[in-house]
Amino acid sequence: MVETKPRPTLRIAPDKVGYVVALAREFDVKTADDGLMDQDEIARVLEESADDPALQELQAFLATLNDEELADLLALTWLGRGEWSIEDWDEIESEIKDVREQQTIEYLIGTPLLSDFLEEGLAQFGLTSDQGR
């Protein structure tokens, strides 16, 4: 009999991910044409969008999350982007260092198509961004 690895557990509630998805989707519409932006373009868009209510709300909400929740958002983003698979979850978590020192909030906000990546990451857990609402 082949042993299967137990499915990893998320440390962030799907409804919190759903809230980030909703806010990111509002901001994505304004920033990402094809999802391909270099760091200079991301910085420019964030600077030009500093007064954007969706961006401000997204930044404020992300700032309320604890380190484990931010790490899971980052891991879900990587998972949803197709860089890793669900079987790699432990490895993903080990790759994520101190999320506060790594400017994870800015990284997440500057990720074009963040909402799509988070939804795809949740889907690999068999979850949706509207669960728990």
- What's the pLDDT tens digit per position in 69-125? 999 999 999 999 998 999 999 999 888 876 666 788 888 988 888 999 999 999 999
Residue 58: per-residue pLDDT: 93
Residue 132's pLDDT band (cuts 50, 70, 90): very low
Domain boundaries, the chain: 14-124
Exposure of 13 in the CB half-sphere (CA atoms within 13 A): 8
**This prediction's pTM:** 0.82
- 3-class SS string, 14-72: HHHHHHHHHHHHHHHHHHCCCCCCCHHHHHHHHHHCCCCHHHHHHHHHHHHCCHHHHHH
Q: Which residues of 17-31 are buried (b: 16+ CB within 10 A; e: fewer)?
A: bbbbbebbbebbeeb
pLDDT tier at 44, thresholds 50, 70, 90? low
